[in-house]
Structure 1
Amino acid sequence: MSYLQTSALSHARKVRSLYKQSIRTLQSHYECFDRYEFRYQAVLMRARFDENKNERDLRKAKKLLLDGQRELFLKSHPQPVKFTEAPGGVAFQRTSPPPDWLLDVWHPLEKAQYPEYFAQREIRKKEYIERWEKDFGKPDSEISH
């Protein structure tokens, strides 16, 4: 869930995000037809952003940002290009990573092929168990009803 916003964004970061979104929108419109036209339009878009990069009046800068976001919304593509593994892509969460416990059932000869990794893994497992016991206490040996 790294794509969820969890903190306030600065004006500069919003402008960078707007620039990236506008380039992706241009890519949706031009990339599949003509790569050269897309690059030309991307250079023009960069020039539009560079015209106002030294704006010191914060009210005017905010208005430019809002106008840019409005224009991006109005010119958005009906089927935007998505990376296959990204949220909204055709292969998003298609394969899940194997569970960590699977490494515990490896044969010792298999583990011997990666001695440093499994030594570090054992240290991390002990740290995790200690942190768990510190936060939640030790598990009861008997289950009482």
Structure 2
Amino acid sequence: MSASASYLARRAAQKERVRILYRRALKETLNWAVHRHLFYRDASDLREKFDANKNVEGLETIDRLIEDGEAEHNKWRHPDPYIVPWAPGGSKFTRNPPPPPGIEIVYNYGQEDHI
């Protein structure tokens, strides 16, 4: 029973690693593709690479394929990846920070209070 439980646990871990690798590689493809039509072609090629090994059964073979895929992903990482402007590291991140405590901003735009 423990042999099958450890087998199932290892297969679940491998499936998770493959899922993470695919998502990372797909997001990395967006950094290299300038236009969407280029991205769609590259994403389709990437999916074909993953689907080619979908029916592999040996645990050691799967581990080797995952390690090779991770190594290839790290080799082709973009040197200047796209960052959403308002995310940490983006060009708009903390561009307009909140005012320090004690400073009050009045938004009456020149209207005076009439008593």
TM-score (norm 1): 0.52
Residues 1:24 and 2:30 aligned together? no
Higher RCO (CA < 8 A, seq sep 6+): 2
Post-superposition CA distance 1:46-94 (Å, at most 9, x none) = 0110111121101010100000010011100011123345444445577
Distance in 1 between residues matched to 2:57 and 2:17, nearest whole Å: 16
Q: Per-residue deviation at 1:25?
A: 1.2
**What SS is found at the alignment partner of 1:10?**
helix
- Size of the aligned set, in residue pairs, is 87
Distance in 2, matches of 1:62 and 1:92, equals: 39
Structure 1 residue aligned with 2:60: 59
TM-score normalised per structure 2: 0.64
**Could you tell me which residue of structure 1 aligns to residue 84 of structure 2?**
83
RMSD of equivalent CA atoms: 2.4
SS in 2 for 1:55: coil
Cα distance between partner residues in 2 of 1:55 and 1:92: 44
- Tell me how far apart the structure 2 counterparts of residues 94 and 13 of structure 1 sit (CA, whole Å): 37
Which runs of 4 or more aligned residues in structure 1 lie more than 6 Å from their structure 2 counterparts after TM superposition? 93-96
Q: Quick one: distance in 2 between partners of 1:81 and 1:18?
A: 18
Residue 29 of structure 2 aligns with an amino acid whose one-letter code is L
Q: Which residue of 2 aligns with 1:38?
A: 39
- Relative distance call for 1:58 and 1:85 in structure 2 (3 A) is farther
8 Å CA contact retained: 1:27, 1:38: yes
Question: Aligned partners of 2:63, 2:36: CA distance in 1, in Å?
Answer: 32
User: In structure 2, what is the Cα distance between the partners aligned to 1:39 and 1:74?
Assistant: 21
- Cα gap change, 1:53/1:84 in structure 2, threshold over 3 Å: closer, same or farther? farther
User: Is 1:14 equivalent to 2:34 in the alignment?
Assistant: no
Identity within the alignment, %: 31
1:140: which partner in 2?
Answer: none
